[in-house]
A and B are shown apart, each in its own frame.
Chain A
Amino acid sequence: MTNKILILAEHDGATLNPGTAKAVSCAAAITEHGGGTIDILVLGEGIDGVAAQAAAVAGVNAVLVTDAAHLAPPLAVNHGPELAAAAEGYSHVLAPSSTYGKDVLPHAAALLGVNALSDIMAVEGARAFKRPIYAGNAIVDVTVPDDVIVCGTSRSASWPTAAEGGAGAVQARAATSQRAAHTRYQGLAGAGGDRPDLQTARIVVSGGRALGSAENFEILYRLADGLGAAVGASRAAVDAGYVPNDMQVGQTGKIISPELYLAFGISGAIQHITGIKDAGTIVAVNKDADAPIFEIADIGLVGDLFTVVPEIEQQLS
């Protein structure tokens, strides 16, 4: 059977999230086993721009656009049923493993009556995959039976962003559902800012409990701005209120794969390491020579971050 793959696009109404093009790479790996086509489903309102971006991803066959008022903002109770309806006739349905993809994909899978795979990190066959369990302490082989749709999220840190240059055919697809009246969107308090996005930045500067306050994080923001880097944090720093939740890196925060990760005053708990294992180079600065983070750091420096951070900034400028 040739593969027919549908990818749920993630976007903010204007821009396609890079997780989508990463899911295309995951889909392309599936088509290496028996060929097939890759389509993208864009759900929202006023989304022609997003559809055009999706069509331009290399390897995309068709872009299905369902433009309807009830599909913005992107709530799982409205997107899940549309994804399930659109999935008919497909062998695979994928979504990025973001909070959006993780909210919508299992919802759709349940409506389709099938199980789902979270965080696909490798493709071994059209129905054979690898995914992490136990916070990435084990990688398990999973095979999906032949007679069901494969539903899964693709682990963004495991897949490269598919190139541009595609020429997918954009097709309108009528909505099949209506707004779920039981759920009302009240708003999004975004941290925003113009710093690079944590999940796509080449360099990430990250701080832990040792920073001690929101004010002290300023030294990391300054260093990051000089490097064109994104800023991340450990859970301890988020829980203490030094930084907002969307900066958390780790098992229950963001899983990232920058070329360079600089960790300041982070001990290296297993849940944090899970989030950075795919980084190219990990640098750790910690005043405790026995901190576990040094066991996995490529470059380690025992020192006080309040001395080291300004020194790095100065020596790089």
Chain B
Amino acid sequence: MKILVGIKRAVDYNVRVRVKSDGSGVETDGVKMSVNPFDEIALEEALRIKEAGKADEVIVVSIGNNDVQQQLRTGLAMGADRAIQVETGDTLQPLTVARVFKALAEREGAGIVLLGKQAIDDDCNQVGQMTAALWGRPQATFASKVVIDGTTATVTREVDGGLETLEVDLPAVITSDLRLNEPRFVKLPDIMKAKRKPLDVVPLDELGGHAGAAPATGRHAAPAPRSRGVMVGDTAALVAELKNRGLV
């Protein structure tokens, strides 16, 4: 079985993102870029499935310009067998990304498409759901546990009401939540080895190209600020303040 893993290059989660003063976007010059944290978790899970003997090959996929090769190399260093860059210089909408994953899943005959539940830049939380819909295959989003048993997967999902469990036939789309696992650290020799692993570049048009009318993004603004309030000296003062404001 092959597992396709989505790897999105995104601003590192430790960076405090700032809106550009002209409102045209967010500041990305000189900002640290990383693998979207949910995608690292997705890749870790794929590697564990392979290490348990339940998959033969883990393929990392990123859609973007040549910069994404950096994140694909990180994925290879973590242990993926090969990488595919779907090349485009354009800003992408989740529907286009989903079409790419569907096309690649069919081309590769993938058993699982493992994505992050959400990219921490656009915070869309859509690609997995859209891929499952277009592909007509099971959709197990927000996974905190995945058990592969032959031709099925049992997936525990983090939902508002608690933990939901689904049994799905493979092939299927699974998206990772934070508690699925703790990704491994990359070791230096692995980085060297990763340089020799295959990385194919495929043009976006070969896999369907852009999907439909995209929403246009306009001005970016900083959120309404919350400012520092008052500090109180002890519990009595805290309770008095709460009572004064009619909150308790």
**B211 contacts chain A at the CB level, 8 A cutoff:** yes
- Whether A135 and B139, one on each chain, are in contact in the complex, defined by CB atoms closer than 8 angstroms, is no
Number of A-B residue pairs at CB separation under 8 A: 271
- Whether B154 and A180, one on each chain, are in contact in the complex, defined by CB atoms closer than 8 angstroms, is no
Min C-beta distance of B213 to chain A, whole Å:
4
- Whether B235 and A99, one on each chain, are in contact in the complex, defined by CB atoms closer than 8 angstroms, is no
Complexed CA–CA distance, A181 and B242 (Å): 54
Complexed CA–CA distance, A312 and B211 (Å): 56
Residue from B93, B124, B142, B231 within 8 A of A300 (CB atoms): B231
Q: A12-B161, A103-B139, A227-B248 are in contact. Are A182 and B168 (CB under 8 A)?
A: yes
Q: A99-B142, A138-B222, A315-B236 are in contact. Are A188 and B133 (CB under 8 A)?
A: no
**Surface stretch bound by B, among A20-28, A52-60, A167-175, A275-283:** A275-283
Q: Which of A139, A140, A180 has the most CB of B within 10 A?
A: A140
A window 248-268: CB within 8 A of B: 251-252, 254, 259-260
A window 278-317: CB within 8 A of B: 280-283, 285, 294-303, 307-308, 311-312, 315-316
Complexed CA–CA distance, A137 and B17 (Å): 6
Q: A100-B159, A138-B220 are in contact. Are A316 and B129 (CB under 8 A)?
A: no
- Whether A133 and B129, one on each chain, are in contact in the complex, defined by CB atoms closer than 8 angstroms, is no
- Whether B167 and A184, one on each chain, are in contact in the complex, defined by CB atoms closer than 8 angstroms, is yes
- Whether B230 and A298, one on each chain, are in contact in the complex, defined by CB atoms closer than 8 angstroms, is yes
**Surface stretch bound by A, among B47-55, B77-85, B115-123, B183-191:** B115-123
Mostly, the A contact residues are mixed
How many of A's residues come within 8 Å of B, CB to CB?
A: 92
A window 87-135: CB within 8 A of B: 98-100, 102-111, 113-119, 132-135
Residue from A119, A192, A238 within 8 A of B162 (CB atoms): A192
Complexed CA–CA distance, A12 and B159 (Å): 13
Interface string of B209-248 (1 = CB under 8 A from A): 0011111111111110011111111111111011001011
Q: A283-B238, A301-B238 are in contact. Are A107 and B132 (CB under 8 A)?
A: yes
- Whether A245 and B163, one on each chain, are in contact in the complex, defined by CB atoms closer than 8 angstroms, is yes
Complexed CA–CA distance, A182 and B155 (Å): 13
- Whether B247 and A235, one on each chain, are in contact in the complex, defined by CB atoms closer than 8 angstroms, is no
Complexed CA–CA distance, A238 and B162 (Å): 12
- Nearest chain B residue, comparing its CB with the CB of A295: B228
- Whether A139 and B223, one on each chain, are in contact in the complex, defined by CB atoms closer than 8 angstroms, is yes
Taking beta carbons and an 8 Å cutoff, which residues of A are in contact with B?
Answer: 12, 75-77, 80, 98-100, 102-111, 113-119, 132-145, 147-148, 180-192, 199, 203, 227, 235, 238-239, 244-246, 251-252, 254, 259-260, 270-271, 277, 280-283, 285, 294-303, 307-308, 311-312, 315-316
